[in-house]
Structure 1
Amino acid sequence: MTGSSARERFDAFLERVDANLVDRADVVGLVGMGSTADRDRVDEWSDHDLAIVTTDGHQPGYRRPADWLPRPDRIALEVHEHHGGVKVVYDDGHVVEFGVASLDDLAGWAADAYDVRLDRGGVAATMSEVAAKPAPIGPDVDRDLGLVLALTLIGVGRARRGERLSANTLVRGTAVEALTRAVASRLEPEEGDARLDSLDPSRRFERAYPSIAARIDGLLAAPVESCARGLVDLAVEVFGTGDGGVPARGLAAVHRRLGW
């Protein structure tokens, strides 16, 4: 699928959502999030990420996607998450993620890019305040470099104990997230026009930091302990040690405990 045809299909679906909601008196607003707002980066893998704002008390009805999404007969999977969000998969693999909130509830959300598509009062103002809030996990390079050390130590210990699933989650997941947050907080992008997601710096990280991303990607293909040691080595290479870098005493402790 070409970029232009993917964008056309994406926009056409969004217009049908607009049409399905615009005349409903209990719908206060509709907001596109992520690529649903920043549609210049839409491709064939982009999903629709939506917030439906309702009058208070009408949220539960809109958590039933078949009641308002286009093509309800083609919904193949519907997953209701613990936080109230819903993921929908159509039979062609198209994904829609959405949440439903009152205007007061919406004020407690977090957002990066957004596009207010329907506003019957207060939605645009609330989203402006939401987007201006600091990210839930704010930048703190010292914290994140410390986490890289602690998480790799714990992860390798669990791998050596035989708890490889847990080890992989810590090393390939949480430690990588901490390292990408540290990079995004401290380093200017290698590509000047690259824009990371303020809520998840690993999104589009490859565009902003292609050389570091390539190193991390290679490490992720290695055995879990090799991956862990490589992440620590990469952190030292990028940030150095001591003040403002990887904590020197912590680094020595990890190397000593793991026999590196």
Structure 2
Amino acid sequence: MHPMLRRLDDFAAHLATRPDVVALLGLGSAGAEHDRLDDYSDLDFFVVVDAHAKPRYLESIDWLQAPCPVAYSFANDRNGRKALYADGIFVEYAVFTVDELARLPFTGARVVWQRDDAPAGLADSGPPPAAVPFDTVEFHLNEALTNLYVGLLRELRGERLTAARFIQSYAVDRVIGLLNLTHPEAGHRRDPFDASRRVEQAYPPQVLPLAAMVPGYQHNRRAAEMTLTWLEERFTVDRVIADAIRRLLAVGA
């Protein structure tokens, strides 16, 4: 058994002794697709508790330390924490009541343990949110183009960090959205919350040249030109916005 799964099972055995705990759910690579676990995985889980018990499980980590001492932790959300165990296992968890869980969007969960009176369907409590407002080729294409345009304006203003986000992050997210729509056969486990997850497994560099699209902080103009060219080679790009982008690329070139 992978050490992460063993830790989760040990943790479940401890929580099962606490009458105010309803269930333990594994998520991410500790969830339904736990065959994805490897040496670089962290451990994501939800602890479901009775309503009156939630404040105590948020305020204290005594229960978290039952399987192994915690070397470091901090509250990263009003519902949970991130923590590093002394043996190197990194965890991110949240504590919810049954009612809260039913309203929460998540996917791919696995019941590691649940109380005998736990309601059915805890691992299926909510659908993932829509990734984008409009999941269409037209939306992703034109959003990518306008991301490039705005990013280049900010680059010319000297706002290089925000330019990098628009050109090398937001626009690339839309490129991935285009590939997901036009290559539905791509064989990888897509993350409905983060399109960048496992994208290298789905699209080889000749299809998605990430090294050229994301060359780094000092290379926004080069990245924008590469992404624009990629889009023009594969889709019908409106000449007005394409020409506007190329005019910005030409400034100071």
When normalised by structure 2's length, the TM-score is 0.84
Is the contact between residue 177 and residue 195 of structure 2 (CA under 8 Å) also seen in structure 1? yes
Structure 1 distance, partners of 2:160, 2:68, is 41
Q: Which ranges in structure 2 are unaligned for 5 or more consecutive residues?
A: none
Q: Render the CA deviation track for 1:54-95: whole Å, top value 9, x for unaligned.
A: 111322222246322246874333232245342112345421
Asked if the contact 1:116–1:123 (Cα under 8 Å) also holds between the matched residues in 2, the reply is no
Deviates more, 1:60-69 or 1:168-177: 60-69
Displacement of 1:247 after TM fit? Answer: 4.2
Against the structure 1 CA distance between its residues 249 and 84, is the aligned structure 2 distance closer, same or farther, given a 3 Å change threshold?
farther
Contact 1:30–1:53, Cα closer than 8 Å, also in 2: yes
Q: What is the alpha-carbon root mean square deviation over aligned residues?
A: 2.6
Higher helix share: 1
Helix, strand or coil at the partner of 2:193? coil
Partners of 2:121 and 2:182 in 1: how far apart? 31
Partner of residue 19, structure 2: 25
Task: Look up the match of 1:4.
Answer: none
Letter in 1 for 2:57: Y
Matched, 1:250 2:241: yes
Query: Which residue of structure 1 aligns with residue 229 of structure 2?
Result: 233
TM-score if structure 1 supplies the norm length? Answer: 0.82
Structure 1 gaps of 5+ residues are 1-6
Given the alignment of the two structures, is residue 178 of structure 1 paired with residue 181 of structure 2, yes or no? Answer: no
Identity of aligned residues (%): 29
Alignment partners' CA distance in 2, 1:236 and 1:122? 54
Aligned residue in 2 for 1:152 = 148
1:50 match: secondary structure: strand
Aligned AA (2:191)? D
Deviation sequence 1:151-210 (CA, Å, 0-9, x none):
2222222222221122222222222222212221332244x4x22112212111111112
Kept after mapping to 2: 8 A contact 1:181/1:202: no
For 2:160 and 2:36, the matched residues in 1 are separated by: 36
How far apart, in 2, do the equivalents of 1:65 and 1:210 lie?
46
Task: Describe the SS at the equivalent of 1:18.
Answer: helix
In structure 2, relative to structure 1, the CA distance for the partners of 1:71 and 1:233 (3 Å cut) is farther
- Measure how far apart 1:136 and its partner are: 4.8
